[in-house]
Structure 1
């Protein structure tokens, strides 16, 4: 049964001053899973729950600032759950013996959603015990995903068509024609078997030659990342993490092709799409198509030239936008 693992082993590649503050470890679909859980702080039964699915490389740590800010802007009136993809844990010793395919990662996220749903059921029982009516006792459930996470959400909806979900937030969504996008064409060669195996070997050599305490400085110089994003990226420089991310990228290029209109049509009135105006993973033509095809959805184009990887420098801005969208739907 999915649940908490009370004494997980910490990853051996963590710098000594780092640690799993704010994270829980769940067993999800047979995988030890790093979960960011931000409880609701308003008194009484939990009224609102947000489930967040990251994009590739699938590390929830990149979204920590975004989700904390969203939680704060909601007045603490929302419980937040987000998970790291198996094979990409920043705080656990690596228990994965192989990299997982996109289909396997989707099955893991479905199991994660099911685990959170059991929590929602418990909140509903608590609400009824507190005297709330049958309808009012049920928390509102919001799904949110970024990039690949939006495609994963479509797969989740396909496998859980009767799930009670109130709103779905798709941030910088990669829902179709991925290999044909400007960035997809650039990256397609990187995820080819021979090239990606060369990358694994190079990273393994780098880690064997460079002490962990110097790695952060090198990553900062190369990427320009700062703060929490720098810490996450520094830990991403690991052979297994690179293998997981690049193999998943290869799966994305091969599988994210046709728009899944059947799934979107069933939930069109629940979707809020947010496209970037300078995003080479999902160009503005994708925004135009979604806006014209599904007028009942809320489809927005970013006015602030925020890049696809918004979590590096624009977490607060996107959290503010997300909070504005969600506020009318939150139960008080």
Structure 2
């Protein structure tokens, strides 16, 4: 079952998109038995004639609304020629009326669909179900989404990936990173203690949640208003709990870099590292360049933060659009 989300117009949209009738669609569906949100720029249903699809795999939290400005700009820069879709992580969304977070709670628990391995299988299942077999993919990953993409390529070598763009990739040694060292105790040993404040915040009216978010993020002068609504959804309770659960598994499971998969797919991969990224320190950039000298590894020179969607979604989309066009020309 898939339903349309009546809240999709809560997000600001460029006037030219409205004038051209190209507002995005936000649909909810069950994938691997877990509620999944899909944000779509371009066609709402893919057909065999859609030979190239751009699919975004988010970071954590994996709410697709965070990427709305980025996707809108990317779709526009690519002249609306290609579908640009984003699939949320399983359970990283606020359930609309009439839908639960899971279809079958027992099956979801047995398959650990909200865990890291379960999220990887969730993306592979989404591709099998929703992407036409003859279509090629340009995968765009952010943060843990990059690890998921590498695992998708490892688990299914037949996946038709034309190019994979890895933005601020957390693909190794997450618990050893500066941010990982700070958050590993919370996510791995004290996660249940964090549920109480999240639960209390979830009881607030949405207007107060939004005001609180604006206050916390007031230090960002060019904050993208598009991130407010998904952040409010994140504070709904279950969504935040699923995000923290996934985060704990990331700290335990994202250890050594998968050089074998990277080398097998080297011509398909572009990595973009942050120069001041506390989840993926610049040392990791120099390490991977040393270990795999023929790869396409780029270091940000513009001061973009790891959570680029907060303020520079359009600027990052400009780079990604150029890289995609470059891949299409070769």
Summarize the alignment of residues 197-208 of structure 1 with structure 2, pairs less than 5 Å apart: 197-208=192-203
In structure 2, distance between residues paired with 1:322 and 1:249: 26
Q: How far did 1:162 drift?
A: 2.1
Structure 1 match to 2:20: none
Match of 2:38 among 17, 35, 47: 35
Structure 2 match to 1:87: 91
Structure 1 match to 2:235: 237
Q: How far did 1:110 drift?
A: 1.2
In structure 1, distance between residues paired with 2:24 and 2:262: 37
Structure 2 match to 1:134: none
CA RMSD after TM alignment:
2.7
CA 1:62–1:16: 2 relative to 1, 3 Å: closer
Structure 2 match to 1:214: 208
Q: How far did 1:331 drift?
A: 7.0
Gaps of 5+ in 2: 13-22
Structure 2 match to 1:254: 252
Contact (CA 8 Å) 1:270, 1:297: kept in 2 or not? no
Q: Secondary structure at the match of 1:50?
A: strand
Contact (CA 8 Å) 1:15, 1:212: kept in 2 or not? no
CA 1:105–1:148: 2 relative to 1, 3 Å: same
Once structures 1 and 2 are overlaid, which stretch shifts more, 176-185 or 321-330?
Answer: 321-330
Structure 2 match to 1:26: 29
- Number of matched residues? 303
Q: Secondary structure at the match of 2:186?
A: coil
Q: How far did 1:140 drift?
A: 3.9
In structure 2, distance between residues paired with 1:114 and 1:261: 26
TM-score, with structure 1 as normaliser:
0.83
Q: Secondary structure at the match of 1:77?
A: coil
In structure 2, distance between residues paired with 1:206 and 1:79: 36
Could you report, residue by residue, the CA deviation over 1:227-270 in whole angstroms, capped at 9, with x for unpaired residues? 11112112211221221111111100000001111111110111
Structure 2 match to 1:126: none
Contact (CA 8 Å) 2:95, 2:101: kept in 1 or not? no
Summarize the alignment of residues 84-123 of structure 1 with structure 2, pairs less than 5 Å apart: 84-90=88-94, 92=96, 93-96=99-102, 97=105, 100-117=114-131, 119-121=132-134
Gaps of 5+ in 1: 122-138
Q: Secondary structure at the match of 2:278?
A: coil
CA 1:226–1:78: 2 relative to 1, 3 Å: closer
Contact (CA 8 Å) 1:51, 1:113: kept in 2 or not? no
Q: Secondary structure at the match of 1:191?
A: helix
TM-score, with structure 2 as normaliser:
0.84
Structure (1 or 2) with the larger CA radius of gyration? 1
